[in-house]
Structure 1
Amino acid sequence: MQIITLIYSIILLFFYHPLYQNYTSLMNTSFSFFYYSWCVLLTLSLCLTFFKVTSLKKFIIFLSLFFFIGLILPYHKNYPIFSTLHVFIPLSCIIIALLFLAYLIKNKQKSEPILAHKIYLWFSYGLSIIAMFIIFFSQINGLIEISVLLFINFILYVLQRS
Structure 2
Amino acid sequence: MTSLHDFKATAIDGSEVDLSSYDGSVVLVVNTASKCGFTPQYQGLQELYATYGERGFAVLGFPCDQFGHQEPGAEDEIAAFCERNYGVSFPMFAKIDVNGKDAHPLYEWLKKERSGLIGGAIKWNFTKFLVGRDGAVVERYAPTTEPAKLAGDIEQALGAE
TM-score by length of 2: 0.29
Larger radius of gyration: 1
Higher percent of residues as helix: 1
Higher percent of residues as strand: 2
